[in-house]
């Protein structure tokens, strides 16, 4: 290091390094500038060191644009040793991103990543920067890198990473990618808003009433149902399937939850609810006779029907007992219904381990709807979370 002015300036700087007084940092900056302008010859190392220290001064003075320029000047001298470059690239990446110089930030981010100095948070910012450039392809590439980095560190990935993917899919009107993004977001957060959006996408092209009932059950059990039209349609479908007790419970929840039932639907819903109550009361009165008949029957279909009635009446323990007995006997027409009601009954009893076992059995049901299976698997995965 040459020149008495330079030595003095850097000496003062080192003495000030831990000081937070703005005036002193301003004075240090002036000394560095004076050293930079000194007549004595400056080596590459001198030039790099002055520019780097000026960058530190500017950071302390919260002039981040000037700080970036100073570090860029330091980098341009070619004076950094190979082992110093990684942290310099990362610092320039952070400064450029903060200064909203996206193109520069992306280039520095690539260099930081290639040198191994980029953190999972840096990779996340790279994904955001590409998204802001409307480059969803590279946003996804860097998003995947960030997700892998978070997981490698034993940390859950940040929600925004999946949100960026979801927004890109939505912008491209790619329903399949939107579903994938929502599945990831539900797995990560279990938020009802993501459940609601996912189930609406899965339901929109479903034409089979049994599958639609199944999808509605997932929406209802995840507390993601928020439109009165969904409650009403679910109740109607359950009533049509001979499940008035469950239908009654669904409609009563809609009518008792503030802000859900629209005024224009109240009269119609009240009529539907009264009709369902009459049928549900009749089912409850017939429970002893149905129970006795089911226990005598060698086939399991009546036991499953009995369990469904118990479930609709809110008697989850007897529901689980009857359905388990029916599954053991065999000869069940709709195995998917049996396993779903058994799983739901166990979940209502807070027996999550047993509920997961029941939902796991859905994989063995012939011809089950893939989307229905996938939704119940996701629901089962999130039980107890």
Q: What percent of the chain has pLDDT over 70?
A: 94
Report yes or no on 225 lying in a domain. yes
User: What's the DSSP call for residue 285?
Assistant: H
User: What's the DSSP call for residue 363?
Assistant: G
- Residues 89-117 pLDDT 10s: 999 999 999 999 999 999 999 999 999 99
pLDDT at 247 over 90: yes
User: What's the DSSP call for residue 362?
Assistant: G
pLDDT at 292 over 80: yes
In the prediction, which pLDDT does 380 show?
97
- Residues 349-360 pLDDT 10s: 999 999 999 999
- Residues 368-385 pLDDT 10s: 999 999 999 999 999 975
Which CATH number goes with the domain that contains 384?
1.25.40.10
Report the domain count for the chain: 3
Report yes or no on 1 lying in a domain. no
Report yes or no on 89 lying in a domain. no
Same domain, 134 and 190: yes
pLDDT at 143 over 80: yes
CA distance 89 to 95: 10
Domain's final residue, options 205, 234, 269? 205
Domain's final residue, options 264, 285, 306? 285
CB environment 244-277: b (16+ within 10 A), e (fewer): bbbbbbbbbebbeeeebbeeebeeebeebbeebb
Report yes or no on 304 lying in a domain. yes
Query: Virtual CA dihedral for 210, 216, 218, 224, nearest 10 degrees?
Result: 170
In the prediction, which pLDDT does 41 show?
84
**Are the C-beta atoms of 339 and 361 separated by less than 8 Å?**
yes
What range does the domain containing 338 cover? 293-385
Q: What are phi and psi of 258, to 5 degrees?
A: -55, 135
CA distance 377 to 299: 28
Report yes or no on 16 lying in a domain. no
For residue 245, give both structure tokens. Answer: 């007790």
Q: What does the pLDDT average to over 195-203?
A: 96
Same domain, 313 and 336: yes
List Cβ neighbours of 136 (8 Å cut-off, separation of 6 or more): 130, 168, 171, 172
pLDDT band at 188 (very low <50, low <70, confident <90, very high): very high
For residue 235, give both structure tokens. Answer: 């109740």
In the prediction, which pLDDT does 37 show?
83
Same domain, 167 and 135: yes
Report yes or no on 98 lying in a domain. no
Same domain, 304 and 380: yes
Same domain, 271 and 299: no
In the prediction, which pLDDT does 1 show?
39
pLDDT at 164 over 50: yes
């Amino acid at each position: 290091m040459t020149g008495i002015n330079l030595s003095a300036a850097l000496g003062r700087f080192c003495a000030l390094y831990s000081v937070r007084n703005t005036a002193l940092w301003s004075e240090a900056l002036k000394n560095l500038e004076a050293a930079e302008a000194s007549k004595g010859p400056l080596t590459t190392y001198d030039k790099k060191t002055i520019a780097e220290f000026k960058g530190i001064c500017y950071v302390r003075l919260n002039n981040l644009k000037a700080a970036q320029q100073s570090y860029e000047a330091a980098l341009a001298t070619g004076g950094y040793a190979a082992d110093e470059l990684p942290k310099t690239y990362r610092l320039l990446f952070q400064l450029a991103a903060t200064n909203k110089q996206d193109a520069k930030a992306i280039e520095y981010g690539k260099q930081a990543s290639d040198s191994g100095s980029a953190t999972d948070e840096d990779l996340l910012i790279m994904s955001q920067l590409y998204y802001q450039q409307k480059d969803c392809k590279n946003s996804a590439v860097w998003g995947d890198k960030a997700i892998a980095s978070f997981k490698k560190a034993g940390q859950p990935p940040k929600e925004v990473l999946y949100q960026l993917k979801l927004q890109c899919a939505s912008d491209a009107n790619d329903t399949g990618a939107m579903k994938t993004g929502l599945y990831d977001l539900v797995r990560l957060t279990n938020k009802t808003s993501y459940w609601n959006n996912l189930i609406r996408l899965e339901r929109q092209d479903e034409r089979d009433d049994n599958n639609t009932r199944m999808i509605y059950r997932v929406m209802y059990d995840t507390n993601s149902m928020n439109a009165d039209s969904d409650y009403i349609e679910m109740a109607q479908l359950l009533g049509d399937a001979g499940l008035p007790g469950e239908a009654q419970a669904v409609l009563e929840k809609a009518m008792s939850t503030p802000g859900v039932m629209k005024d224009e639907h109240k009269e119609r819903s009240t009529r539907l609810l009264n009709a369902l109550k009459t049928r549900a009361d009749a089912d409850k009165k017939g429970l002893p006779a149905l129970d006795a008949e089911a226990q005598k029957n060698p086939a399991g279909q009546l036991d499953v029907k009995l369990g469904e009635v118990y479930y609709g009446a809110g008697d989850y323990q007897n529901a689980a007992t009857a359905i388990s007995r029916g599954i053991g006997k065999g000869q069940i027409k709709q195995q998917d219904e049996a396993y779903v009601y058994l799983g739901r009954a166990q979940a209502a009893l807070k027996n999550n381990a047993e509920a997961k076992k029941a939902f796991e059995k859905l994989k063995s049901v012939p011809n089950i709807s893939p989307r229905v299976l996938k939704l119940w698997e996701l629901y089962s995965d999130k039980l107890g979370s």
